A and B are shown apart, each in its own frame.
Chain A
Amino acid sequence: MKRCRTCKGYQVAIKLSSEFVAAIIVGALLGYLLDHFAGTGPWGMIVLLLLGFCAGVLNVLRSAGMVAAPHPADQLGKGIKNKSDDA
């Protein structure tokens, strides 16, 4: 995070927009695959695309530091550290 303070505005913009768009793409893709293999009509894509929007907003708020809960990937690193520290 220390790095990000030195990031220029351009890089912050790229970061926030890519976080938002990526979640929507993943949501739509998962929905499409679900529909394709489970044959659940258009509903899988509709629901997962909307969930993708939610995840995108969450991603953006997270990388802007406005949500306290860490990203699952970062949480994992912390979990590994705590567990090995106990052991």
Chain B
Amino acid sequence: MAGDKVDPVHQFVVNKIIPIEIGGIDFSFTNASLFMVATLVVATCFLYFTTSTRSLVPGRMQSVSEISYEFIASMLREGAGSHGMKFFPMVFSLFMFILTANMLGMVPYFFTVTSQIVVTFALALFVIGTVLFYGFYKHGLGFLNVFVPSGVPGILLPLVIAIEVISFLSRPISLSVRLFANMLAGHITLKVFAGFVASLGTLGALGIGGAILPLIMTVALTGLNSSCPSSRPMSLRC
């Protein structure tokens, strides 16, 4: 009983809700899929309904939407110039998806989608795929010039190009591992401290007194984890 209460990794188990199998491949609708759909619905509804009044003087909720828009827009303009704004819909969708998924994950008994490396890796592959596709579309084979640094002696060129290619390919892996590790570590720490509160609380008066420390930690970590999701989507670019 106490065993499964305190088990800190149980929250990451993926369960099948509706088993679907097409051509021997598992397409089941799992709790991860459910929370991804929930994330989409929540994010879409939030942005739609908060901006539907379109008041000139924004209300509280409309301000939240506008601030997140401004935040991403200024970040993109800073990083990629005004021409980068054609990617704004994609970047903003990614930002809202990750932010909402992290925020939903903070609700007790909810599944954290971004704590699955499959999800974060798929997001990173999507981003790097867009980079590759747009690079080849815009520059053709001249795109490959980004792998040739200027001012390198010819004899070192094959070596340097190989290193640059590996460095480029490592980007999606490092990005996805970073978001995944952040979310995993945050939720496990939170669960462990919250578990201390529960198991110490059953020990009687002394235990309840001792449970105050992990309780404070849990509150602090919840605050930390809820304030960080806003910075964590950024780790996809940072």
A binds B: yes
Q: Is the interface of A mostly helix, strand, loop or mixed?
A: helix
A73 adjacent to B163 (CB under 8 Å): no
A75 adjacent to B81 (CB under 8 Å): no
B135 adjacent to A25 (CB under 8 Å): no
Q: Is the interface of B mostly helix, strand, loop or mixed?
A: helix
B164 to chain A, nearest CB (A): 6
Within 8 A of B (CB), among A44-80: 48, 51-52, 54-56, 58-59, 62, 69, 71-73, 75-77, 79-80
B167 adjacent to A84 (CB under 8 Å): no
A52 adjacent to B143 (CB under 8 Å): no
Q: How many residues of A contact B (CB 8 A)?
A: 39
Given contacts A75-B146, A81-B83, contact A26 B231 (CB under 8 A): no
A-contact bits for B213-238, CB 8 A (1 contact / 0 none): 00000000000000000010011001
- Chain B contact-residue range equals 35 or more
A4 lies within 8 A of chain B by Cβ: yes
Give the residues in chain A near B67, CB-CB below 8 Å.
none
Kindly state the separation between the CA atoms of A1 and B149 in the bound complex, as whole angstroms. 22
B76 to chain A, nearest CB (A): 10
A3 adjacent to B177 (CB under 8 Å): no
5 closest Cβ pairs, A-B complex: A22-B174, A22-B173, A55-B166, A22-B170, A23-B170
B84 lies within 8 A of chain A by Cβ: yes
Q: Which of B128, B149, B235 contacts A73 (CB 8 A)?
A: B128
Kindly state the separation between the CA atoms of A4 and B10 in the bound complex, as whole angstroms. 33
B131 lies within 8 A of chain A by Cβ: yes
